[in-house]
Structure 1
């Protein structure tokens, strides 16, 4: 028997608790920041909590700036514009504040602040990460305001290449934020639909990591508990946005999902990435819709391990079908559409999307190495609602 060989990495310093966003100035200062740039999205930029964070930094003697020109699916131009703002303001660190888009853009801006190569030279392909001038990277404090992507504990950013209409993963190990603050008070105003879509994204991360064939037992354990937290707390967070316990546990589940997916992702993300690039659709919602169709496509390989997961979740019947029924029932209860057609996506580009999904980095750790034609077939099923 050949024993496995693997490289494992784990997250960073995480500060968990209600009200802990007030500690932001001290953590910025601990990283040597004097002029941090707070990077967020346009929707958050003018909200009182953003103004409060900036004021707290300035009251502590930090000359904090603001950049918010970021799309829902951040683009290379967004990153370039952010780097220009970083340099123009003489900034020395980044505060990544917001949902996955803002966090991804912020981390990419911090990476690119001191590079002399273009962004796409650092795409997660081969040894491209060795091109990074590590000394030129800026430190990052990350504060998520949604519970889904887990980007706050990730070492990569997903950025859209608008010219090629593809999403590219920009990677370097030191893109991992130095400090993360998980404060549930910042998420209480998130609308139920966004809470549901981002929460299902967290579920997709843990679920795909759990099903990955890559050897990483610790990630498996984290994934299983992350899935349980989503089962127990996502419905509560959607029903009552002021439920701080549910909000906190979903933030934790989100970070756990992104920690677990060091084990790899799979066909949900392989399809969601090109769909997001081509249709500018919400990433978490795409994963939520695709989930049952991908589970069914992988059933022949994952049925036994899904049965074990169903037992841990205390479902009525510890089986694949019981787990799939739970996913379908929770999606319906949260108002997640059953098909891609319901969000305006048809199957006209199925063959193209199938090829793009097959080429996506997430496809490499799907339990079954699907062909482009198989990916196209999953997409058609997700459009037509065929399980």
Structure 2
């Protein structure tokens, strides 16, 4: 064992194309990535969900790919909040219809995460459970290179276009988990704010809270140099707060301060949409390296064990939508109490984050400042006022604690030790936030 303190952090990010109309150039980008294909036109799989396809975004991307001389096939059965069943279906399609030279994900985090799994399992042997994070799965690492993956987000929130993570629900276990490996990171992120104009207000609010929590959790994560020196093979993508991730988190918080409420209130405000898209990208570049912690660990069982909550604003074309707590909403519901709990780990960071997010606040400094700033924002954008509002009660706390404790990969990044009692306290206090 190396007794020296850690002094090394790693940083990774996809190539990025950002701006109004960026998606119009997708054909050129895909052909460039498939440049090694010489014997036939490149074959491209476009992965999306029914709502995004109905909005026209996926077919527009596919047509631009075809116009550039490649073949494009659209898979549009992505499940909003992916499950092991829905991802297995997507993988089966990918294997049966492949091989593919490039994969393009068009949509929110659900489409991008599904595309990551399809890319992994159409280029590497084994099944989904082999690659899921332990203890749910076997945490197998990919042995073969993956195909180029282009992520074209149509929501502003998940940051999945920047990260090495694929998140899904394992239905039989009622737990949300994922796959984490550097090879899952998209090759190119094409971020076009014009594609986000179709987001309903409720989706903008929930997805925006995901941006915010990405920035806050990475900014308050345990520092990368807090432990002993790691060997190269021991370093994971989530390495803890570090100077580069901090820079992205701070910029994301500043952008959210100016744009978040406006984007929810007026979805046609293009300047606000552009700033939200930048905030999502910057937060993804931060947390995709520093990591997230308690709110995300708690969000997985909150979303995975939902009983009858159906949020407004989410597509339900045939009236049969399953109960769902959207990921960003689930993350946000324990955020105020989490940051009250973590305040003592680094008061100055918590206070700076609060004032970046609410520069005009007149509240005094202290452990309540960041929780109060968060609660004010959540009220303004109509996030539910606590776990009770999405169907949970005091009798559910132990079950939620059990689910959160399975997310040790995330809890390891928390800035102070987090045990079952700590989680129970955070969850109990989050039943009613105001």
User: TM-score w.r.t. structure 1 length?
Assistant: 0.93
Local SS of the residue matching 1:37: strand
Say whether the 8 Å CA contact 1:310–1:319 is kept in structure 2.
Answer: no
Which of 247, 252, 260 is matched with 2:286 structurally?
Answer: 260
Match of 1:83 in 2: 91
TM-fit CA distance, 1:128: 6.5
Which of 107, 112, 122 is matched with 2:131 structurally?
Answer: 122
Local SS of the residue matching 1:383: coil
Name the structure where helix makes up a greater proportion of residues.
Answer: 1
- For 1:212-247, what per-residue CA distance to the aligned partner results, in whole angstroms no more than 9, with x for missing partners? 112212211211111111111111211221222211
Answering whether residue 277 of structure 2 is matched by residue 251 of structure 1, we say yes
Say whether the 8 Å CA contact 1:36–1:64 is kept in structure 2.
Answer: yes
In the alignment, the residues of structure 2 paired with residue 385 and residue 61 of structure 1 have an alpha-carbon distance, to the nearest angstrom, of 54
How many residues were matched structurally? 385
In the alignment, the residues of structure 1 paired with residue 181 and residue 325 of structure 2 have an alpha-carbon distance, to the nearest angstrom, of 26
Local SS of the residue matching 1:152: coil
Match of 1:47 in 2: 55
Answering whether residue 394 of structure 2 is matched by residue 337 of structure 1, we say no
In the alignment, the residues of structure 1 paired with residue 370 and residue 422 of structure 2 have an alpha-carbon distance, to the nearest angstrom, of 23
Match of 1:193 in 2: 202
Match of 2:353 in 1: 309
TM-fit CA distance, 1:130: 6.3
Structure 1 unaligned spans of 5+? none
Which of 281, 287, 297 is matched with 1:270 structurally?
Answer: 297
Report the aligned-residue RMSD: 2.1
In the alignment, the residues of structure 1 paired with residue 337 and residue 346 of structure 2 have an alpha-carbon distance, to the nearest angstrom, of 13
Of stretches 119-128 and 85-94 in structure 1, the one that deviates more from structure 2 is 119-128
Local SS of the residue matching 1:66: strand
Match of 1:167 in 2: 176
Instruction: Note the 1:152-301 alignment, pairs <5 A.
Output: 152-215=161-224, 216-261=242-287, 262-279=289-306, 280-301=324-345
- For 1:316-344, what per-residue CA distance to the aligned partner results, in whole angstroms no more than 9, with x for missing partners? 35624333322111111111111111122
Which of 21, 24, 28 is matched with 1:22 structurally?
Answer: 24
Say whether the 8 Å CA contact 2:164–2:185 is kept in structure 1.
Answer: yes
TM-fit CA distance, 1:377: 2.3
Say whether the 8 Å CA contact 2:109–2:160 is kept in structure 1.
Answer: yes
User: TM-score w.r.t. structure 2 length?
Assistant: 0.83
Say whether the 8 Å CA contact 1:310–1:317 is kept in structure 2.
Answer: no
- For 1:52-74, what per-residue CA distance to the aligned partner results, in whole angstroms no more than 9, with x for missing partners? 22222222222211112222221
In the alignment, the residues of structure 2 paired with residue 246 and residue 232 of structure 1 have an alpha-carbon distance, to the nearest angstrom, of 8
Of stretches 345-354 and 183-192 in structure 1, the one that deviates more from structure 2 is 345-354
Structure 2 unaligned spans of 5+? 225-241, 307-323
Answering whether residue 345 of structure 2 is matched by residue 319 of structure 1, we say no
TM-fit CA distance, 1:355: 2.2
Match of 2:11 in 1: 9
TM-fit CA distance, 1:105: 0.7
TM-fit CA distance, 1:3: 4.3
